[in-house]
Amino acid sequence: MRIEELPEFISQIEDLPTLPGMYALFREKIYDPKTSANDIARIISSDQAIASKILRIANSAFYGFMRRIDNIPHAIVIIGFNGIHHIVLNTAVLDMFKGNPQIPEFDMAKIWEHSLATATISKIIARRIGYGTGEEMFTAGLLHDIGKVIIYKYLPNEFKKIIRVVKEKNILIKEAETQVLGVDHTQFGSALLKQWNFPESLILTTTYHHEPVLAQDKRKAANIVHLADIICRSLEIGSGGDDKIPRLHQGVWENLGLDIKTVAQIVDEVDTELNDSSVFNEFLK
């Protein structure tokens, strides 16, 4: 398979999950400066499943607000348009891929555990260096391996071969994917997010989280996800599909302004933050 063939492959998947019907209107309105909190609330409230999840997250330890948030307009005012946008994306993606059929050779729940932990660590790093918003980087971390989910679900025989190659050759799953398919999970993920019309920033971090230097003006965000992925693997949280730790790209420390001591402090925060983010696990059940 060639990279240029991926968009057609993705578009021809008959049972590929689609985003909630309200999302297209939601995304259009949320970037309109004339849109009010009540406008967004009306759109979200048209999908009660999404609305209830937003309130569940808003009242969880993920945000840690002292007062209870009882309705969507209040949540939007407190969390902000950007935060609500990323909550909608996160819950929608998790909901679309829950209950995947299991392949005996590999438990997909481990990929999601790894992705949620990478999301959490990305949020910690972003907060530590004062970059972007926690919600934005959480979403970037959550989606970084979405291409593996596509391969697992829609190319199960090839996924089995990939896992076999990983074990036989003791290589990274990214390398095994290229050997078996000719393309890897970053390219599958990029094609999927483009079809879903996701923000360019999320497409770039998904595409280049192994090669952050190529992520154009989102290089810092890609470096954050790249480092978070490696920290997550070193802590052995979930599974990225192999037992190896990718090489940390040159320039990450300088680009993010971090050193080993600061990274150790970030690692110390992981357990608490994972507990605070556990609300997202509920949407995979």
pTM of the model: 0.91
> Do 112 and 53 sit in the same domain of this protein?
no
Q: What's the rounded Cα separation, in Å, for the pair 64 and 78?
A: 12
pLDDT score, position 231: 96
Residue 4 lies in a domain: no
pLDDT score, position 206: 96
> Do 87 and 117 sit in the same domain of this protein?
no
> Do 183 and 273 sit in the same domain of this protein?
yes
Residue 103's DSSP bridge partners are 106
> Do 89 and 193 sit in the same domain of this protein?
no
> Do 71 and 183 sit in the same domain of this protein?
no
User: Structurally, how many domains does the chain consist of?
Assistant: 2
**CATH code of the domain covering residue 170:** 1.10.3210.10
Residue 13 lies in a domain: no
> Do 266 and 213 sit in the same domain of this protein?
yes
> Do 53 and 174 sit in the same domain of this protein?
no
pLDDT score, position 4: 78
Residue 6 lies in a domain: no
The answer to whether the CB of 44 falls within 8 A of the CB of 26 is: yes
Of 58, 78, 96, which closes a domain?
96
Of 96, 115, 150, which closes a domain?
96
> Do 140 and 275 sit in the same domain of this protein?
yes
Q: What's the rounded Cα separation, in Å, for the pair 70 and 162?
A: 47
C-alpha separations of 86 from 42, 104, 206 in Å: 17, 33, 15
Q: Which residue range forms the structural domain that includes residue 47?
A: 18-96
The list of the chain residues with pLDDT below 70 reads 99-101, 285
pLDDT score, position 99: 63
> Do 23 and 66 sit in the same domain of this protein?
yes
pLDDT score, position 5: 85
C-alpha separations of 253 from 125, 218, 236 in Å: 12, 16, 22
User: DSSP readout, the chain?
Assistant: --GGGHHHHHHT-TT-----TTHHHHHHHHT-TT--HHHHHHHHHTSHHHHHHHHHHHTSTTT--SSPP-SHHHHHHHH-HHHHHHHHHHHHHHHHTTTPPPBTTB-HHHHHHHHHHHHHHHHHHHHHHT-S-HHHHHHHHHHTTHHHHHHHHH-HHHHHHHHHHHHHHT--HHHHHHHHHSS-HHHHHHHHHHHTT--HHHHHHHHHSSSGGGSGGGHHHHHHHHHHHHHHHHTT-S-SSSS--PPPPTTHHHHHT--HHHHHHHHHHHHHHHHHTGGGGGGG-
Residue 9 lies in a domain: no
Residue 5 lies in a domain: no
Residue 69 lies in a domain: yes
> Do 55 and 131 sit in the same domain of this protein?
no
Of 58, 73, 96, which closes a domain?
96
C-alpha separations of 136 from 89, 94, 122, 233, 248 in Å: 10, 16, 9, 21, 22
> Do 164 and 272 sit in the same domain of this protein?
yes
pLDDT score, position 81: 87
Residue 258 lies in a domain: yes
Helix axes 200-208, 134-143, angle to 10 degrees: 50
Residue 155 lies in a domain: yes
> Do 245 and 116 sit in the same domain of this protein?
yes
